Structure 1
Amino acid sequence: MLRHLSAIHVPYRLKRPFRISRGTKSVADTIFVEIRRGRHIGRGEGVPYTRYDETIDSVIAQIGSVRDEIEAGADRERLIEIMPPGAARNAIDCALWDLEAKQTRVSVVDRIGWGPLGPVDTAITISLDTPENMAAAAQQLQDVPLLKVKVDASDPIAALRAVRQVAPNPRMIVDPNESWSIDQLGSWQRQLVDLRVDLLEQPLPAKNDADLEGFESLIPLAADESGHVTDNLGQLARRYDYVNIKLDKTGGLTTALEMLEAAEREGLGLMMGCMVSSSLSIAPALIIAQRCAFVDLDGPTLLTEDRDNGVVETCGTMVPPKPGFWG
């Protein structure tokens, strides 16, 4: 019996504008994929990201380019051969995992052999704004276990001080999204220590990563935009302490699992991240999150409306979706 693949654009409006150093968004654009075979339907989601030259149209076109092979029965291993990493492959890969689970009645976590998923503490993000507005946002989050604070190069220390003053207890990830220079990193790191920053994520542009070789950072560094797939992990390990795994970068759960194992072999710590997305993106990401020291999966909490029966976040702790949602 042949499969049927469909892919559509599904936008989600955000509760409030989400700003990082590269720009601001008010809508999360996702690509929803279904793969049907008989009465079974596998679902997956990818999020096009302009940082990697992806658009809604380009991701849908990529999916269309492999439609015939997927409908003819191509498996996840074949998918890796015919598609590059990215949002399009992620959506198909996760849909294939879901379809396989429904056809066999064996859950994805059981197939992997990791056992049942448990709740995880996820970072709750404070987007880039004035120090006063960031402090107002942090005031509502002072009891969560982990904050992620978006900054740029225009006086990030003032913003972080404002956040810390009202939220002294949570662990803190700081994310400049490639907006700093190596000189700025050096000049600010003593203040970052004083502010009890636990992790600094992608401070420099990925193209300037070589500047980190030999740099003695006082704060653990995590690669995000610099760390996509397993090929460059050895090099990353000379520059970073952690790598942020995202399914839309690796191109799906299949290669994310491979990247996790390879990162552990290289001695890199693990972080699990996401784009701004619905719970359909987060459900497979929660599998990787079980092995990560830092988890940043709050994408659905930014939406005005999520998918039914998805993840539930309460005071920074995320509970997996209800049975039957995915996988």
Structure 2
Amino acid sequence: MEVILKPYQLKLKHTFTISRESHDVQPSLIVQLNDDGFLGLGEATSNPYYNITVEKMRDAISALIPEIQAHKNKTPEAFWDVFYPKLKNNMFALCALDLAFTDLYSQKQGKKLYELWGYKTENNPLTDYTIGIDTVEKMVAKMKELPWPIYKIKLGTKEDIKIVTELRKHTDAVFRIDANCGWTVDETIKNAIELKKLGVEFLEQPLKADDWDGHKKVFETSVLPIIADESCQVEGDIKQCHNHFHGVNVKLVKCGGLTPARRMLNEAKSLGMKTMVGCMTESSVGISAIAHLLPLLDYVDMDGALLLSEDIANGVTITNGVINYSTKNGVGVTLI
């Protein structure tokens, strides 16, 4: 099996701003596994919040290439179990490797990935489209540029209610709010009351990740559901999030790929929590992988490739929030 690592600089259509950072380019690593005439693809993007760079991912995977080749005949679950101890300090790298191997395995079985898992796709949720923090005028312009049924609005400023009030004047779409750890407990409880009046569906990660006392108070008091993101990174976090959040947003890069994500989502569902998967501004390689988890989800945020000025792959397509699968087996993606 041939292992190829390809770094990319994904250029965004607009400067993307959240409560703690802004960027115009998203570095990304593509893992390509070639074997028996099949080609599997995986992806993980860099992230300063988690201290992950493309170079760190590339070096971590490069050091394991002989072992990767030696385990080519395992199932994705067994493959993940082999490499988790070796990459547990770089889950982003593990994610890219897991996605590529799972794609390769599914193609070898002659099935689309969701078919391999036995999932039915008739009731898949719609994806939202993200509006980053900006001037109100520019946020409105971004909505008008791409009319959409559900918007995820990034907040974490002192003018958040004014921003949403103004945005509401221009669309009847559902709003979801992501404060990226930018609010206090009191702000969250107070803001939730006003935001509910403005047609907001839920709040995502309003408090800092480790403020568990605060999460508990907000969980018990907020008039809107609260979804964990930064507080829910790996499998062990699901139990801790239970009774502190109404749902969890599982990110493939943070948990180490599709293999653990499925387990996390099933555990959350068994605890009566809402399930969501989010993206980290991946190209269609990473976004197409998310699509196969849709039957497990209540909500999804898989607009990463839509935020790019130019994609590097063909995979799932998204029209007005509806996700359409590729005709190709596996994850269903090819590099351009």
Structure 2 alignment gaps of length 5 or more: 73-78
Pairing 1:310–2:315 present: yes
Change (3 A) 1:266 1:130: same
Q: Is the 8 A contact 2:57 2:92 kept in 1?
A: yes
Alignment partners' CA distance in 1, 2:266 and 2:57: 28
> 1:149 is matched with which residue: 150, 153, 156?
153
1:182-236 deviation line (CA, Å, top 9, x unaligned): 1211232221121121010000110223212133111100000110122121221
What is the identity, as a one-letter code, of the residue corresponding to 1:47?
T
Deviation at 1:324, TM superposition (A): 4.4
Q: Is the 8 A contact 2:104 2:330 kept in 1?
A: no
What is the identity, as a one-letter code, of the residue corresponding to 1:186?
I
What is the identity, as a one-letter code, of the residue corresponding to 1:9?
P
Q: Is the 8 A contact 1:110 1:116 kept in 2?
A: no
> 1:270 is matched with which residue: 275, 289, 310?
275
> 2:26 is matched with which residue: 5, 25, 28?
28
1:31-70 deviation line (CA, Å, top 9, x unaligned): 0101122322211111121111101111111112322211
What is the identity, as a one-letter code, of the residue corresponding to 1:152?
G
Matched position secondary structure for 1:213: helix
Report what 1:173 is aligned to.
Answer: 176
Q: Name which of structure 1's ranges 249-258 and 31-40 shifts more when overlaid on structure 2.
A: 31-40
Pairing 1:204–2:190 present: no
What is the identity, as a one-letter code, of the residue corresponding to 2:271?
E
Report what 1:162 is aligned to.
Answer: 166
Alignment partners' CA distance in 1, 2:330 and 2:236: 33
Alignment partners' CA distance in 2, 1:258 and 1:10: 30
Matched position secondary structure for 1:207: coil
Alignment partners' CA distance in 2, 1:295 and 1:191: 24
Q: Name which of structure 1's ranges 35-44 and 20-29 shifts more when overlaid on structure 2.
A: 35-44
Q: Is the 8 A contact 1:132 1:162 kept in 2?
A: no
Superposed counterparts of 1:55-134, under 5 Å? 55-73=53-71, 75-84=79-88, 86-115=91-120, 120-134=125-139
Report what 1:185 is aligned to.
Answer: 188
Q: Is the 8 A contact 2:120 2:295 kept in 1?
A: no
Alignment partners' CA distance in 2, 1:118 and 1:218: 27
Change (3 A) 1:8 1:24: same
- Count of matched residue pairs: 323
What is the identity, as a one-letter code, of the residue corresponding to 2:245?
Y
What is the identity, as a one-letter code, of the residue corresponding to 2:10?
Y
Report what 1:139 is aligned to.
Answer: 144
> 1:255 is matched with which residue: 253, 260, 267?
260
What is the root-mean-square deviation of aligned Cα atoms in Å? 1.9
* Identity fraction in percent: 29
1:280-309 deviation line (CA, Å, top 9, x unaligned): 101111121222121110000011121343
Report what 1:37 is aligned to.
Answer: 35
Alignment partners' CA distance in 2, 1:138 and 1:35: 38
Deviation at 1:120, TM superposition (A): 4.3
Report what 2:242 is aligned to.
Answer: 237
Alignment partners' CA distance in 2, 1:26 and 1:34: 26
What is the identity, as a one-letter code, of the residue corresponding to 1:195?
L
Deviation at 1:318, TM superposition (A): 2.5
Structure 1 alignment gaps of length 5 or more: none
Alignment partners' CA distance in 1, 2:275 and 2:237: 15
Alignment partners' CA distance in 1, 2:316 and 2:118: 22
Compute the TM-score of the two structures, normalised by the length of structure 1: 0.93
Matched position secondary structure for 1:11: strand
Change (3 A) 1:191 1:275: same
Alignment partners' CA distance in 1, 2:154 and 2:223: 19
